[in-house]
Amino acid sequence: MNRRKFLQVTGLGAAGLSLSRFPNFAAEFADARKRVGLIGCGWYGKCDLLRLIQVAPVDVVSLCDVDKQMLAGAADIVASRQLSHQKPRTYGDYREMLKEKDLDIVLVETPDHWHALPMIAALEAGADVWVQKPISVDVVEGQAMLAAARKHQRVVQVNTQRRSTPHLIEARDRVVKEGKLGKIAHVEICCYWHMRASGNPPDIAPPEYLDYEMWTGPAPLRPFCQWTHPRGWRAFMEYGNGIVGDMCIHMYDMVRWMLELGWPRSVASSGGILVDKTSKANISDTQTATFDHGDLQIVWNHRTWGDGVDPKYPWSATFYGDNGTLKASVFSYDFTPAGASQPTLHGEPLYEYDKYPEDKTEKDLERQCASAIRWHMKDFLSCIARRGRPVADIEQGYISTTSCILANHSMKLGRSLAWDPAKGQVIGDDEANRLLRRPYRAPWVHPEPVII
């Protein structure tokens, strides 16, 4: 198909549009532009999808959400931003969307308790998948997701986009890889933002535009309150893994990537609800976790009360080497040689307003993360083209997610948990292994890892 015929078929010619905005991807999409579907049209679902639209001439043909208002709003935004200006088809049930089997790429952007089943279904429908972190709420879900990706030979990118953050790539290359830190034996990762919900909002009826039964899915059916939807569900362990599952996974995964680490030998954690005991939220307000990598210890702390350790780095990683210290976050990095009073290397986020001016006005966009999401999307697309493993492949997401889940189990049980990666089990601890699979609410059936 020549370019003129291609433009006629797609409607781009009539619209007076061009693929010149996508010089790196025009050739790849010359024969068939990727058809994209989104499951979960909330905050980060739209953020990620709109970054994809920025870097490749995709056709977003399907959107799915259990919130009718959110779904309609997302359809309007997508129509205004994608090349064709076509409004996507809309669905309230991801299974109906995937029945079409006409999607090349599916983004799974639901709350955490809804990642596993849609992701596996999308793989079975023949799509490559972008899935939010953490990949799962329990460990066996993650094992099933990894097995499904390998069975169906699909590309899966986990949105642990620190691995694609430009200034963090620079920090890894200029500081870690060049050996400026020397011997690294300790890394501290943390989040001191006061992000745990406080208060006791009353139980109320779900809004009429929300299918709350479907929203809950395989999770326990809690009474609805104003925190539940949208964006407040992280207050409850029924839908996620608390601040460790939300924030620690990003920093822990970043450290593993920078230092080329695999599984921890063991995970130990302590903490709980130590300060704000009156809130309806049931996630911990204080928690420490140690990920033991032998000669290297990675220690996590979060506190949703009091002051942070370093006001410039409230959510961050600090790498301690015998030759210096590296502090890194989504906002900056600083390298300070041993004995020096000030950093000698500093980096900040890449803002690309000249290329993507819409970043300046897009609602709820974390602007410091926009370039990272775009770079992560480009890596995903490149791996789809060559059928390779992306920088945040599903296996890496499984390792980081499972390690954080084990931290919560360790805190609950009050003991350290040693992990056997080959068996996918805690060593010598039947009680801990029973926690690796959460009960599913009927009629939903827990996915099983299929041995290839």
406-427 confidence digits (pLDDT tens): 999 999 999 999 999 999 999 9
**What is the tens place of the pLDDT at every residue in 129-163?**
999 999 999 999 999 999 999 999 999 999 999 99
Q: Could you tell me the pLDDT band of residue 27, with boundaries at 50, 70 and 90?
A: low
Q: Could you tell me the pLDDT band of residue 21, with boundaries at 50, 70 and 90?
A: low
289 three-class SS:
strand
Task: Return the ∠ at Cα 279 (arms to 222 and 214), rounded to 5°.
Answer: 20
**Nearest Cα to Cα of residue 70 among 167, 215, 209, 186:** 209
What pLDDT score does 17 carry? 43
Q: Are 107 and 155 in contact (CB under 8 A)?
A: no
Q: How far is CA 335 from the centre of its chain?
A: 27
Q: Are 223 and 271 in contact (CB under 8 A)?
A: no
CA 148/CA 330 separation, integer angstroms: 32
Residue 22 has pLDDT above 80, yes or no: no
Mean pLDDT score, 253-259: 98
CA 212/CA 209 separation, integer angstroms: 9
- Which superfamily is assigned to 163-201+232-359+394-429 in CATH? Dihydrodipicolinate Reductase; domain 2 (3.30.360.10)
Residue 2 has pLDDT above 60, yes or no: no
CA 92/CA 68 separation, integer angstroms: 8
User: Looking at 310-409, which runs of residues are DSSP E strands?
Assistant: 315-321, 324-328, 333-337, 345-347
CA 403/CA 299 separation, integer angstroms: 12
Residue 3 has pLDDT above 70, yes or no: no
The helix or strand, by DSSP H or E, that contains position 418, with its residue range, turns out to be: strand 417-420
Between 9-23, 45-59, 375-389, the lowest mean confidence (pLDDT) is in 9-23
318 phi and psi angles, rounded to 5 deg:
-120, 115
Q: Is 451 exposed, middle or buried (0-12, 13-18, 19+ CB in 10 A)?
A: exposed
Cα separations in angstroms, 359 against 51, 363, 365: 9, 9, 7
User: Looking at 13-127, which runs of residues are DSSP E strands?
Assistant: 35-39, 59-64, 89-91, 105-108
CA 64/CA 117 separation, integer angstroms: 14
Which residues, at least 6 apart from 254, have a Cβ–Cβ distance to it below 8 Å?
160, 162, 163, 168, 317, 328
267 three-class SS:
strand
Residue 19 has pLDDT above 60, yes or no: no
Q: Could you tell me the pLDDT band of residue 14, with boundaries at 50, 70 and 90?
A: very low
User: Looking at 79-134, which runs of residues are DSSP E strands?
Assistant: 89-91, 105-108, 128-131
Q: What percent of the chain has pLDDT over 90?
A: 92
403 three-class SS:
helix
259 three-class SS:
helix
Positive or negative: CA dihedral 290, 267, 331, 168: positive
Edge-to-edge order in the sheet of strand 315-321: 345-347, 333-337, 324-328, 315-321, 184-191, 297-303, 286-292, 266-272, 417-420, 425-426
Domain boundaries, the chain: 163-201+232-359+394-429
Mean pLDDT score, 171-200: 98
CA 161/CA 51 separation, integer angstroms: 12
Residue 253 CB coordination number (10 Å): 27
Q: Are 47 and 366 in contact (CB under 8 A)?
A: yes
DSSP state letter for 360: G
